[in-house]
């Protein structure tokens, strides 16, 4: 009897999952994001990684619907592999289901938290958690577990209540210390190999500040 | 004194070893440029491999500034070795060719003679470093262009092109002081040993030991800060993200003191010793 009830519950659950709908609030946000056909902005990049010292870099960011976000600069720049997708185009590209995780505060704003689970193997992430400001119809934070590039946590700050695109973005990720080709970079380079091994991966952050944002809808 | 310096400069100009020195400098430069041209991209990829999981890179790090930095690193060993061999030859060749006896038969004071040797050695060293710097900047920028400089020193340090340019210039200036020290040491060794081969061997050993001692922690603050081998790397400090100017000034000043002491020792020994070949 117990075995029969388990099978019954299992099939009921399976049916529930397969029939799960996409969160309505997310659809509202997606609709708002999809209305952005393209945008251009100036971008300021600051790197916060313990073993990297880099001055503030400047560039231009350009987005066109259906294409990936492009950043250009006269200088050498390091861009996070995730976090520049301000319209969350990459997340919505392949079919997915959503799971409601309740509500949580993020920077004093009560957010609706949902998980996005892709249903297509083509998606390059395994799960994403979104913190949605339902009233302002925008995402405040995302945690994306990629299949090959680790976990990226993106936190977005907006200049005012109306903005669809953030004015500042903080991207957090795990990063391993660098390998040093001693012969190339000079023998003065002192490397504490044990310390590097112990350190393992570290948390790195990149801060992006957008200005002069021009949106085409 | 001036006429002695002129005469020494004339001798250097006429000596074939001067051309060998210049050729050696340019060959070292050529080797670094050719190896960077063919292997540079691969090595930068290796350096940044761990970061490639999280980052995309835009821009070119294999540029003139990196090449200049790599050539600058020849100040650790190659350039001082060449300088020590050539400069010790300024005196050992005089012993070998017995021209020293001829000079000393003239109304020339031993002090002025050896002092002019030291002065010309310093001028020669400065000219070699200047040649290295000018040719390196011209060729590197011409072939590889300008761009951000990446250096691994207490972390990965990135410098914008203009900042890298002035840091490299200052490093060459500070490096010139270190080269002067090694040149003066080699001339003093030539005063002591007289023989060219012996002087070359001892100079090379001195340079190797100096490089090795630079890495050794003496477990003593006084030795770690004031021992001569710990003072020859001041030029490298320009590639810390925040330049420790006080350390650089201190090291250069102390090394200049060591240079003067070495020179005085050489002068005293030369003056006291009879000219015997």
pLDDT tens-digit readout, B5-62 = 787 777 777 778 788 888 888 888 888 888 888 877 777 777 777 677 778 888 888 8
Tell me the residues of chain A between 84 and 143 that have a Cβ less than 8 Å away from chain B: none
Residues A96-129: tens digit of each pLDDT: 888 999 888 988 888 999 999 988 888 888 899 9
Q: Give the pLDDT of residue B19.
A: 84
Q: Supply the CATH number for residue A205's domain.
A: 2.50.20
A195 assigned to some structural domain: yes
Q: Are the Cβ atoms of A73 and B59 closer than 8 angstroms?
A: yes
Higher pLDDT pick, B174 / B28: B174
Q: Give the pLDDT of residue A182.
A: 45
Please report, for chain B, the start and end positions of each structural domain, with discontinuous segments joined by +: 2-272
Residues of chain B contacting residue A51, judged by C-beta atoms under 8 Å apart: 155-156
A196 assigned to some structural domain: yes
A44 assigned to some structural domain: yes
A181 assigned to some structural domain: yes
DSSP, residue by residue, chain A: -HHHHHHHHHHHHHHHHHTPPPPHHHHHHHHHHHT--EEEEEEEEEEEBTTEE---EEEEEEEETTS--EEE-SS-EEEESSS--TT-HHHHSS-EEEEEEEEEEETTEEEEEEEEEE-STT-SEEEEEEEEETTTTEEEEEEEEESSS-EEEEEEE-SSTT-SS-SEEEEEEEEEPPP--HHHH-TT----HHHHHHH-EEEEEEEEEEEEEEEE-
Q: What is the ipTM of this complex?
A: 0.76
Q: C-alpha B114: how far from its chain's center?
A: 22
Domain span at residue A188? Answer: 22-216
Tell me the pTM. 0.81
Q: Give the pLDDT of residue A214.
A: 85
Residues of chain A contacting residue B55, judged by C-beta atoms under 8 Å apart: 78-81
Strand, helix or coil for residue B216 = coil
Structural domain tally of chain A?
A: 1
Strands A52-53 and A151-157: unpaired
Residues of chain A contacting residue B73, judged by C-beta atoms under 8 Å apart: 186-188
Strand, helix or coil for residue B98 = coil
Out of A50, A72, A76, name the one closest to residue B148 (CB).
A76
- What is chain B's length? 277
Number of Cβ within 10 Å of residue B188's Cβ equals: 25
CA nearest to B77 within chain A: A187
Q: Are the Cβ atoms of A189 and B160 closer than 8 angstroms?
A: no
Return the DSSP state at B240: S
A14 assigned to some structural domain: no
A7 assigned to some structural domain: no
Q: Give the pLDDT of residue B153.
A: 83
Tell me the residues of chain B between 114 and 153 that have a Cβ less than 8 Å away from chain A: 147-148, 150-153
Q: Are the Cβ atoms of A188 and B57 closer than 8 angstroms?
A: no
Q: Are the Cβ atoms of B152 and A188 closer than 8 angstroms?
A: no
Q: Are A140 and A131 in contact (CB under 8 A)?
A: yes
To the nearest whole number, what is the mean pLDDT of chain A? 79
Q: Give the pLDDT of residue B26.
A: 87
Mutation choice for A interface testing from B34, B43, B47, B58 by most A CBs within 10 A: B58
Q: Give the pLDDT of residue A12.
A: 45
Determine the Cα–Cα distance for residues B133 and B141; give it in Å rounded to an integer.
12
Q: Which of A71-85, B107-121, B189-203, B230-244 has the lowest mean pLDDT?
A: A71-85
**What stretch of H or E contains B256?**
helix B245-272
- What is chain A's length? 217
Query: Shortest CA distance to B152 belongs to which of B26, B50, B56?
Result: B50
A10 assigned to some structural domain: no
CA nearest to A173 within chain B: B54
| Tokens standing for residue A211 | 């200005």
A47 assigned to some structural domain: yes
């Amino acid at each position: 009897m117990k075995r029969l009830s388990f099978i019954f519950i299992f099939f009921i659950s399976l049916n529930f999952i397969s029939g799960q709908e996409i969160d309505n609030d997310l659809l509202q946000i997606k609709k708002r994001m999809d209305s952005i056909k393209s945008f251009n902005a100036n971008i300021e990049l600051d790197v916060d990684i313990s073993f990297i010292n880099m001055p503030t870099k400047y560039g231009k960011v350009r987005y066109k619907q259906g294409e990936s976000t492009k950043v250009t600069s006269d200088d050498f720049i390091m861009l996070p592999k995730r976090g520049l997708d301000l319209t969350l185009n990459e997340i919505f590209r392949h079919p997915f289901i959503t799971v409601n995780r309740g509500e949580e505060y993020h920077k004093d704003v009560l957010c609706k938290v949902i998980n996005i689970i892709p249903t297509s193997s083509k998606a390059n992430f395994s799960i994403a958690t979104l913190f949605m400001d339902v009233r302002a119809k925008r995402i405040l934070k995302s945690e994306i577990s990629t299949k090959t590039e680790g976990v990226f946590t993106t936190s977005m700050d907006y200049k005012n209540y109306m903005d669809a695109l953030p004015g500042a973005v903080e991207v957090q990720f795990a990063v391993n210390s660098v390998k040093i080709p001693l012969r190339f970079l000079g023998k003065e380079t002192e490397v504490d190999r044990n310390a590097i091994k112990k350190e393992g991966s570290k948390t790195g952050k990149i801060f992006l500040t957008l200005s002069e944002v021009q949106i085409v809808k | 004194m001036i006429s002695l310096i002129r005469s020494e400069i004339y001798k250097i100009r006429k000596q074939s070893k001067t051309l060998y020195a210049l050729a050696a400098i340019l060959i070292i430069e050529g080797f670094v440029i050719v190896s960077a041209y063919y292997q540079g991209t691969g090595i930068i990829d290796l350096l940044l491999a761990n970061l490639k999981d999280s980052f995309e890179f835009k821009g070119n790090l294999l540029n003139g500034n990196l090449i200049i930095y790599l050539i600058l690193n020849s100040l650790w060993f190659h350039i001082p070795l060449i300088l020590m061999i050539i400069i010790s030859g300024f005196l050992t060749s005089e012993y070998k060719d017995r021209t020293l006896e001829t000079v000393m038969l003239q109304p020339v004071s031993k002090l002025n003679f050896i002092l002019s040797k030291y002065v010309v050695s310093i001028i020669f060293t400065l000219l070699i470093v200047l040649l290295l710097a000018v040719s390196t900047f011209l060729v590197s920028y011409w072939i590889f262009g300008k761009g951000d400089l990446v250096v691994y020193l207490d972390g990965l340090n990135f410098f914008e092109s203009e900042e890298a340019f002035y840091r490299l210039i200052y490093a060459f200036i500070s490096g010139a002081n270190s080269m002067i020290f090694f040149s003066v040491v080699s001339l003093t060794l030539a005063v002591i040993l007289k023989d060219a081969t012996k002087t070359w061997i001892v100079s090379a050993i001195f340079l190797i030991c100096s490089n090795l001692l630079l890495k050794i922690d003496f477990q003593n603050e006084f030795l770690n800060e004031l021992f001569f081998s710990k003072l020859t790397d001041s030029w490298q400090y320009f590639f810390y993200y925040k330049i420790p100017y006080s350390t650089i000034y201190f090291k250069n000043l102390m090394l200049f003191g060591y240079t003067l002491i070495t020179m005085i020792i050489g002068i005293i020994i030369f003056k006291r010793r009879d000219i015997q070949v």
